């Protein structure tokens, strides 16, 4: 089992709808959580980071974190065709006790298509 799991896609939503992307992680000690967007043939681009339980909003994007459930989600409101991409969840995994720096692990990604 991977350290970071994402809900299998692909996900297809109409323009203007809310897209919901989910992610779970295995290490209870993780403190840092990220969402990346990757367009086909391009490199991943950081779009959201979240460190505390609750919601964090940035424009049309909302990241949600629940450390007790080891669950991170990304909501995209008013989805646009330009949001069509693969979304990657990333978690800073600390692993063994005494580690001073985490390793950044990624899920397999969820491909989102927003149709007009």
Partner 1 sequence: NAGVTQTPKFQVLKTGQSMTLQCAQDMNHNSMYWYRQDPGMGLRLIYYSASEGTTDKGEVPNGYNVSRLNKREFSLRLESAAPSQTSVYFCAEGAGREAFFGQGTRLTVV
The residues binding partner 1 (CB under 8 A) are 6, 32, 34, 42-46, 49, 88, 90, 92, 100-109
Percent composition of the chain: helix, strand, coil (DSSP 3-state, to 5)? 5, 55, 45
> DSSP class of residue 95?
-
Give the residue with the Cβ less far from partner 1, 53 or 80: 53
Find residue 4's DSSP bridge partners: 25
Give the residue with the Cβ less far from partner 1, 18 or 104: 104
Minimal distance, residue 73 CB to partner 1, in Å: 17
Rounded CA separation 38/96 (Å): 30
Minimal distance, residue 49 CB to partner 1, in Å: 6
Find residue 55's DSSP bridge partners: 64
Give the residue with the Cβ less far from partner 1, 71 or 102: 102
């Amino acid at each position: 089992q991977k350290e970071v799991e994402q809900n299998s896609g692909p996900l297809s939503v109409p323009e203007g709808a809310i897209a919901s992307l989910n992610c779970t992680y295995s290490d209870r000690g993780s403190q840092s959580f990220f969402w990346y967007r990757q367009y086909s043939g391009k490199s991943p681009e950081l779009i959201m980071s979240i460190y505390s339980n609750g919601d964090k909003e940035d424009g049309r994007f909302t990241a949600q974190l629940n450390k007790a459930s080891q669950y991170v989600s990304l909501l995209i409101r008013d989805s646009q065709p330009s949001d069509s991409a693969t979304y990657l969840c990333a978690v800073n995994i600390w692993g063994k006790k005494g580690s001073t720096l985490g390793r950044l692990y990624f899920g397999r990604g969820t491909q989102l298509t927003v149709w007009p």
